[in-house]
Structure 1
Amino acid sequence: MSVAHDRVALIGSERKMSKGQSLIGSADSHEKLTVTVQVRRHPNAAAAPDLAELGRQRPSRRAPVDRKSVLAALGADPKDLDQVKQFAQQFKLKAEQADPAQRTIRLTGTVEQFNQAFGVQLKQYREGDRTFRSRQGSVHVPRHLQGVIERVSGLTNRPLAQPHHKLIPRSPSGVTAQQVAQLYDFPQGVDCSGQTIALIELGGGYSQQDLDTYFNNAGIPSPNVMSIGVDGASNSYGDPSGADGEVELDIEIAASIAQAATIAVYFAPNSEQGFIDAVLAAATSTQHPATCISISWGAPEDAGWTAAGRSGMDFACFVAAALGITVLAASGDNGSNDGVYDGMAHCDFPSSDPYVLACGGTSLQLDNKGMLRNEVVWNNGNGWATGGGISNEFLILPWQTADEVPLQVDTGQQGRGVPDVAGNADPMRSPYEVVVDGAWMSVGGTSAVAPLYAGLFAVIAASSGTMPGFIGPYLYQLASQPNLYFDVDSGSNAVQPAPGYSAGKGWDACSGIGRINGNLLLQQI
C-alpha cells in the first residue's frame, strides 16, 4: 500500500474551530508555505540530563556544560530527518534546513501539496477583523513515520500569542528600570559585555533613534542590539499592531540592567511555528550564545496551542535549560482568566512550562522620596492584573510543595504553580518610562518583569563568572534564606468572571516566592 493511503493521525495535532471563528472557504491551493517538522530524539542517544536534580545544585558547583554532548543527547538521528525528506519528495515538497540539534526539517510547497502529503484540508477562517489559514482535525503521517514525526507546525498561521504589556501616556508616577534595580538591590556598575540576552519577539520592531534617545537620557551607552530573523520575519518597526511597544520595552529594560550586554532580538512570525522556532534558534545559537532567553509573549495554555505544539515548546525550553540558559517568561496581564472570559481560570503558556522561570507582577508603593514602602500584587481592578494560577497541562513541579500550591480552582486538580517570582509591573501606579515610536511613554505588564530579571541574571553571570542556568529549583530551595525574597503577601489576581487566587505567606499563585533581592542572590551563586 502506498504511503499516501497508509497514514495515521499524528498524536497531539488535533485542532478544532474555536468560538468566534467562522469558515470562509478553502485556502488558495497555489499558496506557498513552509512548515517545520520535528522528529523524535535519537533512539540510541545517551540519557537526557536530569534537570530537576541539576537545578537544585548551587550554580557555581555545577559541572561546565558540554554543549556538544548535550545536543547529541537531545538531538535527532539524521536518518530520521532523511526519512522525512524522502516522504516530502513523494509529494514534490522541497526539504531543506535539516537540523539534528533542533530535531527539525523545513518543507516548502503549495497548499494542495500539503493537503495531500498530510491528509488535511487547509481552509481560510475569519476571527474578528483578521483572516488566517488553518485546519480542523488531525495531521496525518505515513504509518512508517508514526513515532518518528512528533510535530508539524506551519500549516496554521493564526496569530497565537499576545504581548504582555500595556502602554499609556507618560505618567508622573513613572519609574525607570534603573530605579527599580536599585530598589531591588541589584548589583550596580557591572560590565556585562560578555553576556548575551536573547529576546523573543513575534511582531513589531525597534529603531536605533528610539534606543539612543532612551539610553542617552539614562546616561548609559546604547547597547549592541542584533536583529535576527526566524522563518522570514524581521525587525518591522512601525508595525500597526502596536508590538513596537513590546520590543522596545524589552530592549530598554534588559539593557538598562545588564549594561554593555549584547541584546539578540529574535523576530519570528506570531504563530505556533514561529514561536517555537524562535526559542529553538535562540537556545541552540553558537554565533550568539545566550545567558538568558526572555519571553514577553504568551497565550492561554489551553487556547490556540495544539498538544504537539506545547510539547514542541517544552522541548525548546528543555534544550535551553540543559545548555545552561535561563529561560524567563511573563505570566500574563489579565489576571486569573488570562484573557479568556469563560468564567474559568487559565494559565499562560509558555510561562507554565516546567523549564521556564515564570514572572508575575507587583505594584510598588513608594514614599515621597521614592523609597519603597511596600509591594503588593498588581491588580488595577479593570481587567489588568498579574497572571498566575495552576496549570491544567503540567504536573506540580518537584521543587514546589503541595502544602503551598493550591488545587486548580475550577477542576480541583493539582498542577504546576505559576508564577515563580514577581517584580514591578503596574502600568498605573508604578509604570516604567520607555521610548516607543519616537515618544516617551509609560508601560507596565508582566512583560517588563521577564527582561528585568533576565538583566539581573546576566549581571550575576558577569559578576560571578557562573551562568545561573536552570535556576528555578535552586531559587525554591533558597526560600528560607533571610531577606533573599520579599514575600508579596497582599492582594489578589481575580478578574471577573473567573475565580482568582490570593496572595499569602510563602508561595502563592500571584507572586510566586516573591521578589528577588539581587545582591543577596549573587552571594548564593
Structure 2
Amino acid sequence: MPVVNDRVPLVGSERHIRKGQTLVGPADSHERLSVTVQLRRRPGGPELPDLETIGRERPSRRRQVDREALMAALGADPGDLEKVKQFARHHELTVEETFPERRTIRLSGTVDRFNRAFGVQLKQYREGAHNYRSRQGSVFVPRHLQGVVERVSGLTDRPLAAPHNKAMPKIAQGVTAQQVAQLYDFPQGVDCSRQNIAVIELGGGYDQNDLDTYFHTMNLPSPNVVTIGVDGAGNNYGDPSGADAEVELDIEVAATVAQGANIIVYFAPNSEQGFIDAIYAAVFSSQYPPTAVSISWGAPEAAWTPAGLAGMDWACFLAALFGITVTAASGDNGSNDNVYDGLAHCDFPASDPYVLACGGTSLQLDGNGALQNEVCWNNGNGWATGGGVSDTFPLPGWQPEDEIPRQVDTGLQGRGVPDLSGNADAMQSPYEVVVDGQWMSVGGTSAVSPLYAGLMAVIAASSGYRPGFISPLLYQLMAQPNLFFDVDSGSNTVQPAPGYSAVKGWDACTGIGRVYGNLLLAQI
C-alpha cells in the first residue's frame, strides 16, 4: 500500500480523470471550504438489525424501535471523534460541527490546509459549462486514522446528480396528479396534516405564488412548505439551470396526493457532500420527522466514489431502520442512464437496496380520461424509464432470484431496479404543474418518487402505521391477486446501450408494476 508522509490512502476515495474534463489550473489556495468527515461505527457495538425480516412484516406488527438508543449504539465512538479533532487542530482546521449519531464531523479551512492535511492537490477543472474544484487519485489519512475515517466529502464540488424530469410548455394530453391518484385507486380525502414528507433538492427553488396558483386550480388548500438549507444552500427560485421544474413538481405532486401533509424541502449543494448531508438532515430531524423522503435526483453508480456510495447507503439504511420510506427516481434515459458508453447503467440512489426505486410508465387513456392500458415509458428519443441490474449492490434476499435477470454487460446478478412504477411519460401523459409562473407539462420518474412518497403518507395517516421499509413486503405480496397492475409491454432500451424488456412478473423496466393504493392500505 503506498504511503505519503506516513499517510495511507483512504479506501474508496479514488477519483479519476473524467471524459470531457479539462484542467484549468490549481485551486485558489486561500479559498475556504467545508468538508464532511465520516467515521466508522462504534467498535464493539451491537449487531445490525435484520431489516429484511423486519421489512417482510406488515407495519402494524412491527415493534417500534428506540431511536435514541439506536443512534447512540450505531454512532461514532467519542475516542474516534477526539482523534479527528486532534488531527484537525494539528493542521489548523476548524471543527465546525460534530454529529456523533451520524458519525460525521465538519471541518473548515483553506484549500492549502486541506491539501496538506489530506495529501491531495485540489485543482480547478472545466466540464461543459461548469467550472469546479476537484482532485485526482486518493485522499490520504494518517496511519493512526486508518480504519477510523471512512469518507471525506467536500474537497470536490463537482455537480454530481441530475434532476430526473423533462419539462415543456403545456400540451393538451396532460394529466394532473389528482387524476393519476384516482386512476391508481389511492385513498382519497385523507387528512395528512400530521405527516411530514421530506423532499431533497440539489438546485432550483419554488415560489409561493406558483404553489397558490396550482393548488387553487386543483381546488385544494396550499400546503405548509418548510425550507431547510443544508451546507449553505437555499431556495434558489429562478435558477437558470431549470431546476425549478424539479422542485415545484415534487412539491405539487406530493402535496396533491397527501393532502394537508407538511412538505419539508431540504436544499443542498449538488455534490457528493451536499447530497448525503441532506439525507442525514432529513432522517435525523426531530422537529420534522419524516414519514417519507422523496429523491428525484440521481447519477449513474459509476459517477460516485465507493466511499460516497457507502455513505449514502448508510444514510438510507438508517432511514429504513427508523421506519422512514425513502423513494427515489430510477432515471429518465433508459438503461443507458445518460452515460452513452454502450453499456447499461443503474441510477443511484435508486439502486440502493434500502430505497423504494420508482420507474416510469405511460398511460393510455381514452377520450374520457379512462385508463385503457399502461405500458413501459419509452418515447424513442432518448427519454425512457431507468432500470436495470446494479453493478454495485448484490441481489437482496427479498427480490426473487428467478425473476431478476443478470446484468446485460457483466453477467452479474445484482439488485434489480426499479421496485414500483407509475406514470412518467413526458410526451403522452405528462403532469400539469405550475413552474416559474406558468403552466407546464412535466414528465419523468421525478414525478413517480413524490407520487409514492405521498401514498406512504396517506397510508400512514389512514392506518396509524408508517409503511417504513416496505420493499420486502411488496415483493412478498407479489402473488396477491389484483394488488399490482403488471406492466408487461415495452422496453427501456436507449441506444447505444442494451436494455431490458417489460415481461410478466418483475422486470428491469417497471419492477413489480404499479400498485393499487387502497388495496395496499388494506395489506398494511
- Common fold by TM > 0.5: yes
Letter in 1 for 2:433: V
Q: Which residue of 1 aligns with 2:364?
A: 365
Q: Return the alpha-carbon distance in structure 2 between the equivalents of residues 80 and 51 of structure 1.
A: 27
Q: Which residue of 2 aligns with 1:407?
A: 406
Q: Which residue of 2 aligns with 1:230?
A: 230
Q: Return the alpha-carbon distance in structure 2 between the equivalents of residues 235 and 83 of structure 1.
A: 36
Using the TM superposition, give the Cα deviation of residue 65 of structure 1 relative to its aligned residue in structure 2, in angstroms.
2.2
Q: Cα deviation per residue 1:200-258 (whole Å; 9 max; x = unaligned)?
A: 00000001000000000001100000000000000010010110000000000000000
CA contact (8 A) 1:4 1:117 kept: no
Q: Which residue of 2 aligns with 1:333?
A: 332
Q: Aligned residue pairs: how many?
A: 522
Instruction: Please show how residues 161-240 of structure 1 align to structure 2 within 5 Å.
Output: 161-240=161-240
Letter in 1 for 2:443: G
**Equivalent pairs: percent with the same residue?**
73
Q: Return the alpha-carbon distance in structure 1 between the equivalents of residues 74 and 48 of structure 2.
A: 6
Q: Return the alpha-carbon distance in structure 2 between the equivalents of residues 483 and 212 of structure 1.
A: 37
Q: Return the alpha-carbon distance in structure 2 between the equivalents of residues 54 and 233 of structure 1.
A: 36
For 1:319, what is the secondary structure of its paired residue? helix
Using the TM superposition, give the Cα deviation of residue 97 of structure 1 relative to its aligned residue in structure 2, in angstroms.
1.0
CA contact (8 A) 1:279 1:316 kept: yes
Using the TM superposition, give the Cα deviation of residue 72 of structure 1 relative to its aligned residue in structure 2, in angstroms.
1.9
Letter in 2 for 1:456: L
Instruction: Please show how residues 4-19 of structure 1 align to structure 2 within 5 Å.
Output: 5-19=5-19
Q: Return the alpha-carbon distance in structure 1 between the equivalents of residues 258 and 81 of structure 2.
A: 39
Q: Which residue of 2 aligns with 1:115?
A: 115
Letter in 2 for 1:263: I
Q: Return the alpha-carbon distance in structure 1 between the equivalents of residues 234 and 215 of structure 2.
A: 23
Q: Return the alpha-carbon distance in structure 2 between the equivalents of residues 518 and 65 of structure 1.
A: 26
Q: Which residue of 2 aligns with 1:473?
A: 472
Q: Which residue of 2 aligns with 1:269?
A: 269
Using the TM superposition, give the Cα deviation of residue 317 of structure 1 relative to its aligned residue in structure 2, in angstroms.
0.4
Q: Does 1:278 align with 2:278?
A: yes
Letter in 1 for 2:253: I
Letter in 2 for 1:484: L
Q: Which residue of 1 aligns with 2:504?
A: 505
Q: Which residue of 2 aligns with 1:456?
A: 455
Using the TM superposition, give the Cα deviation of residue 197 of structure 1 relative to its aligned residue in structure 2, in angstroms.
0.2
Q: Which residue of 2 aligns with 1:88?
A: 88
Q: Cα deviation per residue 1:355-381 (whole Å; 9 max; x = unaligned)?
A: 000000000000111110100000000
CA contact (8 A) 2:389 2:508 kept: yes
Letter in 1 for 2:45: A
Q: Does 1:36 align with 2:32?
A: no
CA contact (8 A) 1:345 1:499 kept: yes
Q: Cα deviation per residue 1:180-209 (whole Å; 9 max; x = unaligned)?
A: 000000000000000000000000000100
TM-score, normalising length: structure 2:
0.99
For 1:124, what is the secondary structure of its paired residue? strand
Q: Which residue of 2 aligns with 1:353?
A: 352
Q: Which residue of 2 aligns with 1:519?
A: 518
Greater shift in the superposed pair: 291-300 or 124-133: 124-133
For 1:251, what is the secondary structure of its paired residue? helix
Using the TM superposition, give the Cα deviation of residue 64 of structure 1 relative to its aligned residue in structure 2, in angstroms.
1.2
Q: Which residue of 2 aligns with 1:45?
A: 45
Using the TM superposition, give the Cα deviation of residue 73 of structure 1 relative to its aligned residue in structure 2, in angstroms.
2.7
Q: Return the alpha-carbon distance in structure 2 between the equivalents of residues 364 and 198 of structure 1.
A: 27
CA contact (8 A) 1:45 1:72 kept: no
For 2:311, what is the secondary structure of its paired residue? helix
Q: Return the alpha-carbon distance in structure 1 between the equivalents of residues 82 and 243 of structure 2.
A: 38
CA contact (8 A) 1:4 1:116 kept: no
For 1:446, what is the secondary structure of its paired residue? coil
Letter in 1 for 2:462: S
For 1:151, what is the secondary structure of its paired residue? strand
Q: Return the alpha-carbon distance in structure 1 between the equivalents of residues 308 and 280 of structure 2.
A: 13
Q: Which residue of 1 aligns with 2:257?
A: 257
Q: Cα deviation per residue 1:42-99 (whole Å; 9 max; x = unaligned)?
A: 1132222211111111111001121112212321112211211110010100012100
Q: Return the alpha-carbon distance in structure 2 between the equivalents of residues 82 and 170 of structure 1.
A: 56
CA contact (8 A) 2:175 2:431 kept: yes
Q: Return the alpha-carbon distance in structure 1 between the equivalents of residues 356 and 68 of structure 2.
A: 25
Using the TM superposition, give the Cα deviation of residue 4 of structure 1 relative to its aligned residue in structure 2, in angstroms.
8.4
For 1:34, what is the secondary structure of its paired residue? strand
For 1:318, what is the secondary structure of its paired residue? helix
Q: Return the alpha-carbon distance in structure 1 between the equivalents of residues 345 and 360 of structure 2.
A: 16
For 1:447, what is the secondary structure of its paired residue? coil
Q: Return the alpha-carbon distance in structure 1 between the equivalents of residues 6 and 290 of structure 2.
A: 43
Q: Return the alpha-carbon distance in structure 2 between the equivalents of residues 135 and 149 of structure 1.
A: 19
CA contact (8 A) 1:74 1:319 kept: no
Q: Return the alpha-carbon distance in structure 2 between the equivalents of residues 206 and 399 of structure 1.
A: 38
CA contact (8 A) 2:4 2:140 kept: no
For 1:333, what is the secondary structure of its paired residue? coil
List 4+ stretches of structure 1 deviating above 6 A: none
Which runs of no fewer than 5 residues in structure 2 stay unpaired?
A: none
Q: Does 1:382 align with 2:400?
A: no
Q: Return the alpha-carbon distance in structure 1 between the equivalents of residues 10 and 271 of structure 2.
A: 19
Q: Return the alpha-carbon distance in structure 1 between the equivalents of residues 166 and 345 of structure 2.
A: 20
Instruction: Please show how residues 65-144 of structure 1 align to structure 2 within 5 Å.
Output: 65-144=65-144
Q: Return the alpha-carbon distance in structure 2 between the equivalents of residues 239 and 122 of structure 1.
A: 27
Q: Return the alpha-carbon distance in structure 1 between the equivalents of residues 426 and 454 of structure 2.
A: 20
Q: Return the alpha-carbon distance in structure 2 between the equivalents of residues 440 and 74 of structure 1.
A: 46
Q: Does 1:315 align with 2:314?
A: yes
Q: Return the alpha-carbon distance in structure 2 between the equivalents of residues 48 and 447 of structure 1.
A: 32
Letter in 1 for 2:144: H
TM-score, normalising length: structure 1:
0.99
For 2:72, what is the secondary structure of its paired residue? helix
Letter in 2 for 1:88: A
RMSD of equivalent CA atoms: 0.9
Q: Return the alpha-carbon distance in structure 1 between the equivalents of residues 4 and 394 of structure 2.
A: 38
Using the TM superposition, give the Cα deviation of residue 466 of structure 1 relative to its aligned residue in structure 2, in angstroms.
0.1
Q: Which residue of 1 aligns with 2:21?
A: 21
Q: Return the alpha-carbon distance in structure 2 between the equivalents of residues 70 and 434 of structure 1.
A: 41
Q: Return the alpha-carbon distance in structure 1 between the equivalents of residues 471 and 74 of structure 2.
A: 21
For 1:336, what is the secondary structure of its paired residue? helix
